[in-house]
Amino acid sequence: MHRAASVCCLLLVTLVAGCAETGRTQTPPEVAQSSPPGTLAEAVRTARLVGLTDPRRDIRITLTLRGRDVQGLSRLLETNQTVSAAGFAARFGPDPLLVQAALRDLESSGLPGRWQAGSQLATARGSVGAIERYLGVHLRDYLLPDGTSFYAPDGEPRVPEALAGLVTGVSGLDDFTRYRSHAIRPGGLTPTDVRVVYGIDTLTSRGLDGSGETIVLPEIDDLPITADLAAFARKFNLPPFDVTVKRDATNWGRPQGQGKPGSEVTLDLEVAHAIAPGAKLVPYIGSPQADQTAVAFDALVSQNPGAIISDSIGACEAGLSSALLQQGAASNERAVAQGMSHFVAAGDRGAYDCGQNAAPSVDFPSALPTVTSVGGTTMFQTPQGTYQKEAAWGNPISQAGTGGGLSMHFPRPAYQKGPGVDNQFSNGNRQVPDVAGVADQNTGYHIILGGRDVQIGGTSAAAPLWAAVTALINQDLKKKGLKPVGFVNPALYWMGQNQSQLQASPFHQVTEGNNLAYTATAGWNYCTGLGTLQASPLDSAFETYQRRTGSQG
């Protein structure tokens, strides 16, 4: 959800620590009691039990399905090869005969189901009573001290024998676990500023505008404000937006905001359009409820092979069930196999994504090894408006800052090992973020929202920045007879470790500031990853990577 942030000016020197991990003071008990729970387990502990959930209530569950040829898919991903959507379904998707048998079993129990070929998710809908009987659980209603109500199961579901060989997890048995968007007000860079500080103007001056590329955006706010989009294009002398909105309330749920146009989706579209005005933008509007978000994202992947994903939503990794983690992992493996790039906001709570009263934690799906996690910085410009430097974004007063740290669940991928990435805090798990972009609310982005000029920050804006630059690079690579970048992480880390083979560094390395737990240091770090982008060298580096590694297709 959107959260108000402090607009007080901070001296940068107060944010710079002298060691690689800063200390954290003990939170007073009264603050801890007033903080909202970060996980379902914590919510159940602190809430009042109201009673059993009405057995007549209609809800939907999401089933995680076992795919085929897991080792073959791993080899495909490791070699950065791709397949068509039909090829993925035939080789790696769940066995259609097993799925149809499972759907018949669900139907006979009063739970009609739905599945799309190739997908590792299936959904079923029915009464609470039917779901309780089928999965051997009971749902209970709870009430938090702040008035928030939710339902949750009294234990883990038991998958019936008829589904045991196919179904590996079930989600949707609670309505507490929800995704949030990552945007904080206010901030201040115009589209021209952003193009200049990151050298994007060197690409746009060559006629690159993202034409022929598609950027898809999972969203949990309602429709974009079309009048704002038109006003933004006029104000900054950009062509009209090419936007196609996708909605499916029956299967993806309803977005937050009660039918009001969404600020998050408007922000995402305006930032992307400012950089790649020729790209087609396709927001997928769904519910913040985690299992419904997973179904909407799965549809996005199914319908857009080869597209670029800009993702500004997420949830505390530690608060998600194994079924939700599996669902996200499956959909993103499919995205990588289908040649998609996926940029995900790393989060805006610093290193404490589950809250300041919990242990350091990271955001999901940013924690997945199959996505590009985008952290945030504070930008410093010269008096002429050009690039001066950046610092890792971390504000101890508002407890806001760039997400970053170590995953609890996912092992560190092969591309993230080697000189400049290994460090003293590594525990063998996935490290985030991979890269970064300006995100501090005090140096954020100038957009038009609600008919007014406003300024917004957050890693929510850094993700579409990287997605839009990738659209320009894809357009350029295709002109040169090369393939689009697809999953970018292997190439990015190759660039970081082979800069002597490049004409210039594709990254602005960030070595100042912190994210409330980790300090930015030379090389890869837990605040800004490899750094922020330098557009023209980055474009050249992708060409060099393909030619030097033989991955040009």
Catalytic residue ranges: 264, 268, 460
- Residue linked to tokens 């839009």: 468
- Which residues sit opposite 363 in a β-bridge? 316
65 in Cβ contact with 167 (< 8 Å): yes
Structure tokens at 31: 């603050």
Amino acid, single-letter form, for residue 515: N
Could you tell me if 294 and 327 are in contact, meaning their C-beta atoms sit under 8 angstroms apart? yes
Query: Would you say how long the chain is, in residues?
Result: 553
- Counting Cβ atoms within 10 Å, is residue 192 exposed (0-12), middle (13-18) or buried (19+)? middle
CA distance 12 to 351: 18
Could you say which DSSP state residue 143 is in? E
DSSP letters, 89-128, are HHHTSPPHHHHHHHHHHHHHTT--EEE-TT-SEEEEEEEH
Q: Residue 409: CA atoms inside 13 Å, Cβ hemisphere, count?
A: 21
Furthest C-alpha separation in the chain = 70
Q: Tell me the Ramachandran region of residue 519: left when phi exceeds 0, alpha when psi lies from -120 to 50, beta otherwise.
A: beta
Coil vs helix vs strand at 414: helix
Give exposure, 39-57, as e/b (b: 16+ Cβ within 10 Å): bbebbbeebeeeeebeeee
Please tell me the number of Cα atoms within 13 Å of 277 on its side-chain side. Answer: 19
201 by DSSP, 3-state: which?
Answer: helix
